[in-house]
Chains A and B, each alone.
Chain A
């Protein structure tokens, strides 16, 4: 089993290569078959290896396979080596499983597109890169996957490249994440010079002996890695690219910008948790970033028109929850929320994609409405996803994962009441914007007629995902409802358990408060948007509310701020210096020479007598010098 590890990433890669080499000549059926098949096979291999791993591997064992030595320079010897442990298993499973569902969906969704094969090629390449990211045994190989997913994200956001806006969104996404990546590269350098290796297991094993806790170097390294994570995972302040990234096709948003790539930061921090545990400050910053992000993105989500942008902000906000969990040391809770979020957010995006396509590429929720009866299947699956997102108690998977995070935000040793309060307020907002989205889209009067209904290829993945969005929560239940801990037991092979400061017996109070927050959010929006819509109309007339609304709508003005502080100066300097000021200096030398030349050539009159005069003057000067000296 161990030796088949390479197959997991190799299959998508093979699919990619085949599509690139021969995509133009294959029929669309074959293209879809290649694209979907490679990922599905990869998922099967994953399940096989995963079962084998669960049944046979002992606690600390990892599956490890070295393919070849990448390079060997001095002592620097990174390998192309894969390694599978519980944490990467969860990620690989999510990537391949959800990935194959989304591929199936795309086979229907993209059927009419002329660049069918390019789409699947990019998607396969993405899955390959993502798998490399989570399977890599050293940080450098992970960096390869890390940048690779960035490239695919770029290619897929700009998939419909003929509209320049899509291209700019893609570029923005790439450049902003590159900022984080660069910080991460610096982190890698620091780690290499501190530990003499980039192999993650060795780093984790040696960290405690190399570094004292809370030393500046530990904090700086952790923060550099965090910066990498913030870029990829769209956390404050590098979050601005994700809403724009919705320019890509919906399956792309589902796979890359909801389920997998954007959680790479979560994976990185969980993977390097040993380093973060060595620096309380860094971990506090992780929690702080998560908390602030979830709130900021939540408010923005509340004010969007575009259904995909709502989901995008909600993704940012949910990843904020994961960061919060990581920050308070609730490692397993973060990963659990990642998995659940992957299910329901992929579901929401796919369902939203189905709606958008059905309405003839209409993104604006205010132009939707009344779809409840017209697209019942999409409605019900969307509803399940939305329930999970707003953490509807007991029946939704999202409840179990988010509840865990809320509880740890209070109860963990590193938690605090403020973090808990932000988290629960965030839960309230989440419920609110989810309900708003549901009401605007599915209730009310029909504002746009549907063109055509989604086909089977699109609906089946929705149903499967909806199923998991309910069921997946039950693999990890809080101690007061059944205390079933399958998931965290698995992950505790890799990740430490959370140290609590509060008594577990008080957990029910917090669960109750979480209920209230969720229902409060739903109720509030229900009142304002459904039962008494005139109230919202009245609010809209208020000018201070209006400006607040606009402020939130524009993502708290981060885009404008960055434009003002970074982008515009850069572009301005680049533009004014287009002709290279240094060259002006050399031009100056040239023109001085030229002037001198004109000056001197004016003396070359061709008059012989004048030349002789010059000779005489020269002789006078030379002799004069001789006399004087």
Chain B
């Protein structure tokens, strides 16, 4: 099976997704949206890994993706639990309202 899709294009896609994720994290004030954006970023990096693994015909890329997946699962579960607690305590999900550190 041959294709004209080059690594460059796939990587570019990964980069685009990643940047979109970052933008999301920065522009949103709601923690849930930020968490979603983080998921996008994780996915983007997973894509980069998988693409690189395919490029060399090695399974390592997918292995890394699996690790990322595991990490994402852990992160989301903890993150969501925290969100629940935050919402209970502050009745808000506004990240700017949550800051308690006064530098």
The short answer to whether A and B are in direct contact, CB under 8 Å, is yes
A577 at the interface (CB under 8 A from B): no
A600's nearest neighbour on chain B, judged by CB, is B103
Determine if A606 and B102 form an interchain contact, defined as CB atoms under 8 angstroms apart: yes
Determine if A609 and B95 form an interchain contact, defined as CB atoms under 8 angstroms apart: yes
Determine if B22 and A609 form an interchain contact, defined as CB atoms under 8 angstroms apart: no
B99's nearest neighbour on chain A, judged by CB, is A606
Determine if B101 and A604 form an interchain contact, defined as CB atoms under 8 angstroms apart: yes
Determine if A607 and B96 form an interchain contact, defined as CB atoms under 8 angstroms apart: yes
Determine if B95 and A601 form an interchain contact, defined as CB atoms under 8 angstroms apart: no
| A607-B95 Cα distance, complex, nearest whole Å | 8
Determine if B26 and A616 form an interchain contact, defined as CB atoms under 8 angstroms apart: yes
User: How far apart are B19's CB and chain A's nearest CB, in angstroms?
Assistant: 9
Interface size classification for chain A? 10 to 19
User: How far apart are B102's CB and chain A's nearest CB, in angstroms?
Assistant: 7
> Which of chain A's residues 330-389 have a Cβ closer than 8 Å to chain B?
none
| A604-B102 Cα distance, complex, nearest whole Å | 8
B100 at the interface (CB under 8 A from A): yes
User: How far apart are B52's CB and chain A's nearest CB, in angstroms?
Assistant: 18
| A407-B101 Cα distance, complex, nearest whole Å | 98
B28's nearest neighbour on chain A, judged by CB, is A609
User: How far apart are A608's CB and chain B's nearest CB, in angstroms?
Assistant: 5
B25 at the interface (CB under 8 A from A): yes
User: How far apart are A594's CB and chain B's nearest CB, in angstroms?
Assistant: 15
Determine if A609 and B96 form an interchain contact, defined as CB atoms under 8 angstroms apart: yes
> Which residues in B have their C-beta under 8 angstroms from that of A606?
99-103
Interface contact tally, CB-CB below 8 A: 30
B98's nearest neighbour on chain A, judged by CB, is A608
| A604-B103 Cα distance, complex, nearest whole Å | 5
User: How far apart are A220's CB and chain B's nearest CB, in angstroms?
Assistant: 69
> Which residues in B have their C-beta under 8 angstroms from that of A613?
26
* Given A609-B95, A609-B96: A603 in contact with B103 (beta carbons within 8 A): yes
B100's nearest neighbour on chain A, judged by CB, is A606
> Which of chain B's residues 79-103 have a Cβ closer than 8 Å to chain A?
95-96, 99-103
Please encode chain A, from 587 to 609, with 1 for each CB lying within 8 Å of some chain B CB and 0 for all others: 00000000000000111111111
A629 at the interface (CB under 8 A from B): no
| A612-B26 Cα distance, complex, nearest whole Å | 7
Determine if B26 and A607 form an interchain contact, defined as CB atoms under 8 angstroms apart: no
Among B29, B102, B103, the one with the most A-chain Cβ atoms within 10 Å of its Cβ is: B103
Please encode chain B, from 9 to 36, with 1 for each CB lying within 8 Å of some chain A CB and 0 for all others: 0000000000000100110010000100
Among A602, A604, A609, A612, the one with the most B-chain Cβ atoms within 10 Å of its Cβ is: A609
> Which residues in A have their C-beta under 8 angstroms from that of B103?
601-606
User: How far apart are A447's CB and chain B's nearest CB, in angstroms?
Assistant: 85
| A607-B25 Cα distance, complex, nearest whole Å | 12
> Which residues in B have their C-beta under 8 angstroms from that of A601?
103
User: How far apart are B17's CB and chain A's nearest CB, in angstroms?
Assistant: 15
User: How far apart are A372's CB and chain B's nearest CB, in angstroms?
Assistant: 94
Determine if A605 and B22 form an interchain contact, defined as CB atoms under 8 angstroms apart: no
> Which residues in B have their C-beta under 8 angstroms from that of A603?
103
Considering the complex of A and B, which 8 residue pairs feature the smallest CB-CB distances, nearest first?
A606-B101, A604-B103, A606-B99, A601-B103, A605-B103, A608-B95, A612-B25, A607-B99
Q: List 16 A-B contacts (CB under 8 A).
A: A604-B101, A605-B101, A606-B100, A606-B101, A606-B102, A606-B103, A607-B95, A607-B99, A608-B95, A609-B25, A609-B26, A609-B29, A609-B96, A612-B26, A613-B26, A616-B26
